[in-house]
Homo-oligomer: A and B are copies of this chain.
Amino acid sequence: MLPQPTVEQALAAFTLPEKLGFGRISAPVMFSATYEKGEWSEGRLIPFGPIELMPNARSIQFAESVFEGMKAYRVPPARPHLFRPLDNAGRFARSATRVGMPAVPESLFLAGLDAVASACADFIPTRSGSSLYLRPTLFSTEGGYDVVNSGAFRFLVLASPSEPYSSGPMRVRIERDDVRAARGGVGAAKTGGNYAAAMRATTRAVADGCTVSLWLDPQQRQTIEELSGMNIFAVIDGEIHTPVLSDSILPGITRDSVLRLAAHSGYRTVERPMPIAELLADIAANRCSELFASGTAAIINPIESLLDADGRQHRPGASAVALRLRQSLLDIQEGRAQDPFGWIHRL
């Protein structure tokens, strides 16, 4: 292994590329803390680079890992700010608890975000929709082949200067065969296994000219749940509908922001079980005028079509509500509008 650069050298050597994409460019530094014998270390900034891990670590063997996704925004001349970081801290802790891992204390979580976002402040892209994507990750470092929780963990905050996840209206494939998460399972936790379970379906979606899968409920495969890594909304008779949360749906922070922002903007919002058959009928009857996705990576993104297993495309057509909500959300996130919700966290 080559000698590691210092944090200062890593930062000095980094230049922001012209083309970013989403999550493709790694920031030059990361925050690292460890957990052993029931105690968290203080944590410190280190250069981004390969980590050493025992190959029998339960994180690799048994997917004992959880993560978060969030963003830091730069509005010169102010310091970077974060969007709803305490909500991410809370969900990160709930995810860890669901799989029996120790929660990262909120103060350590915030210290990691602050350290990385502050060090990378000059690399945060400022074009609207772009940001510093932050990826807190907690995984076990203890080796073992028995199906029990480990006693040693590592907490990293990774970062990536990024453009939005999607660059235009998305085509979505309805997944009628595979199931992402069980009721009573870990689908509401941001733990790796939910995402591995979704990968084969993504490949099918991409093969069919789509970006992502729409998951149906695991019991009957009749009601819609979420997209892989995003929540879904439908504008029906001018109201904004989204699947009611269950323990097989990831409770998106952007999902919650959409509901609050929409209500604030005068829309009626409805959280309810949403049968796929009814949704397709509503699209056919022009009652459902548009569909959109929400997520930290995707922000708010129009869905152009739903592709079903029978090859039929269902196209709601409009995207005005999604684009309006997207703009309102970005205006708050990027500091152009008042923040009536207390979502912005200044570092």
- Residues on A lying within 8 angstroms of B by beta carbon are 1, 22-24, 26, 30, 48-56, 58-65, 67, 69, 97-101, 133, 135, 137, 139, 143-149, 156, 158, 160, 165, 177-186, 191-200, 202-203, 206, 212, 218-219, 221, 228-229, 248, 297
Contacts and interface: CB of A to CB of B under 8 A. Distances in A.
Contact of A179 (B64, B65, B146, B184): B184
B51 A52 contact: yes
A323 B146 CA distance: 23
B179 A98 contact: no
Contacts of A62: 192, 195-196, 199
A51 B55 contact: yes
Nearest to A149: B199
Contact of A60 (B97, B183, B192, B297): B192
Contacts of A137: 55, 60-61
A192 B184 contact: no
Given A1-B52, A137-B55, A158-B55, A199 B23 contact: no
A17 to B, nearest CB: 15
Contact of A196 (B144, B180, B192): B192
A196 B190 CA distance: 12
A191 B60 CA distance: 10
A218 B53 contact: no
Contacts of A185: 178-182, 185, 197, 218
Contact of A22 (B26, B49, B145): B145
Given A179-B185, A182-B180, A147 B200 contact: no
A56 to B, nearest CB: 6
Contacts of A49: 54
5 contacts: A24-B144, A26-B56, A55-B156, A61-B65, A193-B194
B23 A145 contact: yes
Contacts of A184: 177-179, 218, 221
A99 to B, nearest CB: 5
A149 B203 contact: yes
B65 A147 contact: no
B147 A183 contact: no
Contacts of A133: 145
A105 to B, nearest CB: 20
Given A63-B193, A100-B203, A135-B56, A297 B145 contact: yes
Contact of A228 (B97, B147, B297): B147
Contacts of A144: 23-24
A61 B23 CA distance: 12
Nearest to A200: B100
Nearest to A4: B1
Looking at A24, A147, A158, A179, which has the most chain B CB atoms within 10 Å of its CB? A147
Nearest to A212: B147
A196 B22 contact: no
A186 B62 CA distance: 13
A283 B49 CA distance: 56
